[in-house]
């Protein structure tokens, strides 16, 4: 059964722009190669962490919202654990209310962009 998931991961702040892009492409490619459909991808940029992780106080945040079979999540998260560029990650299965909220939020953002243009 296909479910909708949201994954946020934090990359170490010592990475270059090129290394950040490579990391994001690696995880996006893993999802698409395993039959997932990417709904939304959002780069949040560098942000201050709530508490130090590996003696670092900032990190590059990235969000991927996708539809996939539940069976690929375990291996997807193992890839995060094996990648030394990833400091933290969190994958959440979205329920119908969260999916509706995200769609409403995206629609509102699109309407706002049209109004500004």
Q: In what order do the strands lie in the sheet with 56-69?
A: 37-53, 56-69, 2-11, 86-93
**Those residues with Cβ within 8 angstroms of residue 40's Cβ, 6 or more apart along the chain or in another chain:** 63, 64, 65, 102, 106
The pLDDT of residue 2: 86
Q: 37: how many CB neighbours lie within 10 A of its CB?
A: 11
Contact 41, 78 (CB under 8 A): no
Mean pLDDT of the chain: 92
**Residues above pLDDT 90, as percent of the chain:** 81
**Residues above pLDDT 70, as percent of the chain:** 100
Range 61-74 average pLDDT: 93
| Unique residue bearing structure tokens 């909220």 | 101
Whole-prediction pTM: 0.88
Grade residue 116 by pLDDT with cuts at 50, 70 and 90: confident
């Amino acid at each position: 059964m296909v479910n909708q998931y949201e994954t946020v991961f934090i990359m170490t702040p010592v990475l270059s722009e090129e290394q950040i892009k490579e990391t994001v492409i690696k995880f996006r490619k893993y999802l698409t190669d395993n039959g997932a459909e990417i709904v939304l991808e959002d780069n949040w940029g560098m942000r201050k962490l709530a508490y130090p992780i590996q003696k670092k106080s900032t990190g590059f945040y990235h969000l991927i919202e996708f539809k996939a079979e539940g069976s690929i999540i375990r291996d997807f998260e193992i890839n995060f654990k094996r990648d030394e560029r990833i400091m933290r990650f969190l994958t959440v299965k979205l329920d119908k209310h969260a999916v509706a909220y995200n769609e409403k939020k995206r629609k509102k953002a699109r309407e706002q962009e049209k109004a500004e243009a």
